[in-house]
Structure 1
Amino acid sequence: MTKLYITRHGETEWNTKGIMQGFGNSPLTELGREQGKWLRDRMKDLHIDVIYSSPSGRAYETAEIIKGDRDIELLADDGLREINMGQWEGLCQDEIKELSEENHFNFWNLPSKYISVDGENYYESRERSYNTITKILEKEKGKTILIVTHTVTLKGFLNMLQNQEIDSIVKPPFIKQTSLTEIDFNEDGYKILNLACMEHHEYSRKEFNE
């Protein structure tokens, strides 16, 4: 059996401002680093053979935080980057709406109709993420793998894995920062054990206890 843990990076400065990142990057916030520590603490007693991360700083730093002082190989893979948003990268939501309100709506609601300018559409991003993660699973067969990546990348992989229509990528569950998805793969297929689980987040635990 091959076990895959897959997560999204912690909160970034641009996340808090509603600015599109894509292949671009902004630093983790203090909360973003804390989110990485919460997942690190959740996973500290779980065996992990290897960690793969998007090379984007926000994801790689999150991977380093989760790894902590454990002796686990950490590898960057370009195929795990977020969807390339081209012209939109570094722009806030209002600026994007000024360029095209319809395309802005489609990005968030109808991926099949989203048209990228100098970047990737959802179909291209989904294929890239699925092919990349499938190759990692083949290379590391029989091991326990952690992947640190991005929302659209993660949702695209799950979308293609489950043979879903592309527009379902934007449907719940939303992939919140450092939420944890756990999937077991064997000769008969796969089983999703956890999907975007938030139990380790401090505020989630407080809400549960209240």
Structure 2
Amino acid sequence: MPIEIVFETHALSEDNERGIATGWLPGRLCDQGRANAADMGRRRRDDGIAAVFTSDLHRAAETAEIAFGDTDIPILYDWRLRECNFGTRNGSPGAEVKKDRLDYCDRPYPDGESHEQAIARVVGFLADLPSRWTGRRVMLIGHLATYRALEHVTTGLTVRELVAADFEWQAQGWEYRLA
């Protein structure tokens, strides 16, 4: 039986508003982000979700806590759902990180990781899901690296293709089925 996955990115952060590539820095939700997280909770609480898995970075954990903290749905934190570690470029302007991102598909950012390593980390998390969640519907709250890993596993697109593609945020998130 497949696992149904609902994926949503963390809600809007202060760094998102300022155009900063937060990477492995914690980040904080802005006022609009906290409202978005509350909306996510109202939209998803009665959606048949058995558990919420979230990145342990503050902006994702804060999203999960606002959305589901007052429900019986368990929130499970996993570092493998983190964004790509941009190393010395964590906290840099997003436009700068985006400009040469293809240079770091298989080569790590200085003191960080490559996009390939970040996607492999999330794929490892996904490989562990069947041990307990087969036939269930779970939610992941993460980052662009989480999205890319889900797309990689479900579509077969290469890391380079995924990193080259422009990301388009979806207010209602994405749905996947893992066999």
Q: Same fold (TM over 0.5)?
A: yes
In structure 2, the residue corresponding to 1:6 is in which secondary structure?
strand
Percent identity of equivalent pairs? 24
CA distance, structure 2, for counterparts of residue 6 and residue 13 of structure 1 = 21
Q: Unmatched 5+ residue regions in structure 2?
A: none
Contact 1:111/1:167 (<8 A) preserved: no
Residues 91-170 of structure 1 mapped to structure 2, 5 A cutoff? 91-93=92-94, 97=96, 105-107=99-101, 112=105, 115-170=108-163
| Ranges of 4+ aligned residues in structure 1 off by more than 6 Å | none
TM (norm. structure 1) is 0.75
Contact 2:82/2:145 (<8 A) preserved: no
CA distance, structure 2, for counterparts of residue 139 and residue 83 of structure 1 = 26
CA distance, structure 2, for counterparts of residue 130 and residue 71 of structure 1 = 27
Q: Cα RMSD (Å) of the superposition?
A: 2.3
| C-alpha displacement of 1:153 | 2.3
| C-alpha displacement of 1:113 | 6.6
Go from structure 1 to structure 2 and tell me whether the alpha carbon gap of 1:151 and 1:104 turns closer, same or farther (over 3 Å shift).
closer
How many residue pairs were aligned? Answer: 177
Give the aligned partner of residue 168 of structure 2: 174
Are positions 1:73 and 2:74 aligned together?
Answer: yes
| C-alpha displacement of 1:152 | 2.0
| C-alpha displacement of 1:54 | 0.6
Q: Unmatched 5+ residue regions in structure 1?
A: 98-102, 190-210
Contact 1:110/1:167 (<8 A) preserved: no
TM (norm. structure 2) is 0.87
CA distance, structure 2, for counterparts of residue 173 and residue 90 of structure 1 = 19
CA distance, structure 2, for counterparts of residue 140 and residue 115 of structure 1 = 32
